[in-house]
């Protein structure tokens, strides 16, 4: 029987180090027989726990690490496992599993969860329902209620495991963007439920310290500034990159991080706390019949003015179910189809009045927006840069604005305005560890953001690996953002190849995926040479089309069948050589 060693409380490690070591030993010893030490006493056994992570931008991964630490304090040996690194056979021998997964796009699983999601879906149709009869599990699903397929991936995993005979130890929780309270409650319930299972592992003495010294995780310390406590960063620069004649408005934003202690890497994202449009707030106050000075509760339980609450604290986009219930009892009251924003609901039911405190209690908390960082800290010490497309559109006869994108475009003053920011790590989207490894980057429009950072990083470190960028937008004359920078990088050799696609400069639209197909032979050759391929941008259309083009490139240039091409792409993902930052 596999033996799982226990790090005693008296060992010279911090709680975080003990939790990390417990997880390490669980993964090392729980799947293979190990002889117990005859000279050491056997401490009480730990309960092995596997935490499966499906993460696109790193949020689920961060929560999984928190779950592992908490489980380690409660006598579990927790191992965090990327879903891309497991399969049905490995899952079938597990006893205790927590699933933490996000959903992105139109209800799709994260890239690292797709293979397992597909395998489980197929198994529910073709396998016996007792496949996972010895497995106990619970699911934490992450999502965004602004999207129709809210938390669909987590719901799928929950249903798949149940159909295949696993036992749900604690109910699934579906978390919106403001997930802290729900996640904490779920984690406590799930660990408590799994702890009732009899421990089947034998105990074993801890190996000598000399054998584990290099495995000890460093002491973790929370940064002074984070999502819970954002740093008030001074805006240094805000300039428009696209030409005035462009149909788009793309802005370059720079923040000063001096004194923040915030550290980021190329590939990470920056969270930005913004304010709602003041004109919208004024209109909403008028529609509510309020002057803005009414006392209302803030999300943290304190009291503030209604105007401040509507400007800085609460989300005025899609009405929450709680607000719909106030104005139109029942499931949506038949109004939801026509209601795009909170203001639409208030105008639609002008005959109804609601007290200001009750109104804000039915609103969702205003969440920060995440933007891919477009700078390398090695090239711009103490600064962080963003590339932001201002969202403006008209729906139902009303002009609409993206909350954060137009805050940064319209209502900030360089050298004066400060905005709360924090770093959101995305370890799944990093340039190759070796500067000699070739990189293929596909990022039209604002999707170029992380690749500007990647190229700055390579220039700053003197890396010599080949780089290839597929970029484009509507028109070369108006939408070639960072033109001078990219051409300079090309001229100096940091950027080996630059392929440009301008969709509206000719009768036939040309997109980055068309250029990939046209260069299939060389693209495949780069992959065969070990290149990493990265995609950033729109998930619904561009990323899907680029993924399809990649499969076709491999079929054509590699002379493979569709099945073989799919396996090749999956091997790229498993090797962390195909990464996507899509939204």
d(CA 46, CA 202): 8
* pLDDT (0 to 100) of residue 288: 96
Query: Quick check: 99 and 138 in contact, CB under 8 A?
Result: yes
Structural element, H or E, at residue 386: strand 383-389
What pLDDT score does 351 carry? Answer: 87
Q: Which residues pair with 386 in a beta bridge?
A: 253, 373
Per-residue model confidence (pLDDT) at position 17 = 56
CB 515 within 8 A of CB 443: no
pLDDT score at 8? 58
* Closest of 98, 56, 74, 87 to residue 15, by C-alpha: 74
Q: Give the whole-angstrom CA distance, residue 237 versus residue 415.
A: 8
Positions of the chain with pLDDT under 50? 1-4, 30-38, 198-220, 330-333
Distance CA(183)–CA(59), nearest Å, equals 12
Instruction: Tell me the fold of 47-198.
Output: Rossmann fold (3.40.50)
> What pLDDT score does 271 carry?
97
278-361 folds as NADPH-cytochrome p450 Reductase; Chain A, domain 3 (1.20.990)
Condensed to tens digits (0 to 9), the pLDDT of residues 321-340 reads: 889 888 875 444 455 557 78
- CB distance 453 to 267 below 8 Å: yes
Contact 255, 230 (CB under 8 A): no
Alpha helices by DSSP H, listed for 399-482, are 403-410, 449-461, 476-479
Largest CA distance in the chain: 81
- Alpha carbons 93 and 116: distance in angstroms, whole number: 15
What's the confidence (pLDDT) of residue 107? 85
User: What confidence score (pLDDT) does residue 24 get?
Assistant: 58
Q: Structural domain boundaries of the chain? A: 47-198, 231-273+368-424, 278-361, 439-582
357: closest CA among 443, 432, 294?
Answer: 294
Q: Residue 185 has which token pair?
A: 């409650």
Same fold across 47-198 and 439-582 = yes
Q: What span, in angstroms and rounded, lies between the C-alpha atoms of 31 and 446?
A: 45
| pLDDT (0 to 100) of residue 489 | 98
CATH class of 439-582: alpha beta
The topology under which CATH files domain 231-273+368-424 is Elongation Factor Tu (Ef-tu); domain 3 (2.40.30)
How many residues belong to the chain? 583
């Amino acid at each position: 029987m596999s033996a799982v060693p226990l790090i005693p409380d008296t060992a010279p490690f911090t709680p975080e180090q003990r939790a990390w070591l417990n997880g390490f030993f669980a993964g090392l010893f729980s799947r293979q027989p190990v002889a117990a030490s005859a000279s050491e006493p056997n401490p009480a056994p730990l309960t092995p726990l596997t935490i499966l992570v499906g993460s696109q931008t790193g949020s689920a991964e961060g929560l999984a690490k928190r779950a592992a630490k908490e489980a380690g304090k409660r006598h579990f040996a927790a191992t965090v496992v990327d879903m891309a690194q497991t399969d049905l056979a490995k899952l079938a021998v597990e006893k205790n599993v927590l699933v933490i997964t996000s959903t992105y796009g139109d209800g799709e699983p994260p890239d690292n969860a797709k293979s397992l999601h597909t395998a489980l879906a197929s198994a529910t149709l073709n396998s016996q329902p007792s496949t996972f009869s010895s497995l106990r599990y619970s699911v934490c699903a992450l999502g965004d209620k602004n999207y129709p397929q809210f938390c669909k991936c987590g719901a799928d995993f929950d249903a798949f495991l149940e159909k295949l005979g696993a036992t749900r130890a604690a109910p699934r929780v579906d978390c919106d963007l403001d997930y802290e309270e729900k996640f904490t409650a779920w984690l406590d319930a799930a660990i408590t439920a799994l702890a009732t299972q009899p421990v089947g592992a034998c105990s074993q003495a801890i190996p000598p310290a000399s054998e584990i010294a290099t495995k000890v995780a460093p002491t973790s310390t929370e940064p002074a500034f984070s999502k819970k406590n954002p740093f008030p960063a001074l805006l240094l620069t805000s300039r428009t990159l696209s030409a005035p004649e462009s149909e788009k408005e793309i802005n370059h934003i720079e923040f000063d991080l001096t004194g923040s202690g915030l550290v980021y890497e190329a590939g990470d994202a920056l969270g930005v706390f913004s304010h709602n449009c003041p004109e919208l707030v004024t209109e909403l106050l008028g529609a509510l019949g309020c002057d803005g000075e009414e006392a209302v509760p803030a999300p943290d339980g304190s009291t503030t003015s209604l105007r401040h609450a509507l400007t800085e604290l609460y989300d005025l986009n899609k009405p929450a179910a709680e607000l719909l219930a106030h104005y139109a009892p029942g499931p949506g009251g038949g109004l939801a189809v026509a209601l795009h924003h909170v203001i639409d609901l208030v105008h639609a039911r002008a005959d109804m009045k609601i007290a200001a405190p009750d109104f804000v209690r039915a609103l969702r908390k205003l969440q920060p927006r995440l933007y891919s960082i477009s700078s390398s800290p090695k090239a711009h010490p103490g600064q962080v840069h963003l590339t932001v497309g201002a969202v403006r559109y008209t729906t139902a006869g009303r002009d609409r604005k993206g909350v954060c994108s137009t805050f940064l475009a319209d209502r900030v003053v360089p050298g004066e305005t400060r905005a709360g920011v924090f770093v959101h790590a995305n370890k799944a989207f990093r340039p190759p560890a070796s500067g000699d490894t070739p990189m293929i980057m596909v990022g039209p429009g604002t999707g170029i953001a992380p690749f500007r950072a990647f190229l700055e990083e390579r220039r700053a470190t003197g890396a010599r690996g080949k780089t290839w960028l597929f970029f484009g937008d509507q028109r070369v004359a108006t939408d070639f953002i960072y033109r001078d920078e990219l051409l300079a990088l090309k001229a100096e050799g940091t950027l080996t190849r630059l392929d440009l696609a301008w969709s509206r400069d000719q009768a036939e639209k040309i997109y980055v995926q068309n250029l990939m197909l046209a260069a299939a032979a060389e693209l495949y050759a780069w992959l065969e040479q070990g290149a990493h391929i990265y995609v950033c941008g729109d998930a619904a259309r561009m990323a899907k089309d680029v993924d399809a083009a990649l499969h076709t490139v491999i079929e054509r240039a590699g002379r493979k069948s569709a099945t073989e091409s799919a396996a090749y792409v999956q091997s790229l993902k498993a090797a962390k050589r195909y990464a996507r930052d899509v939204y």
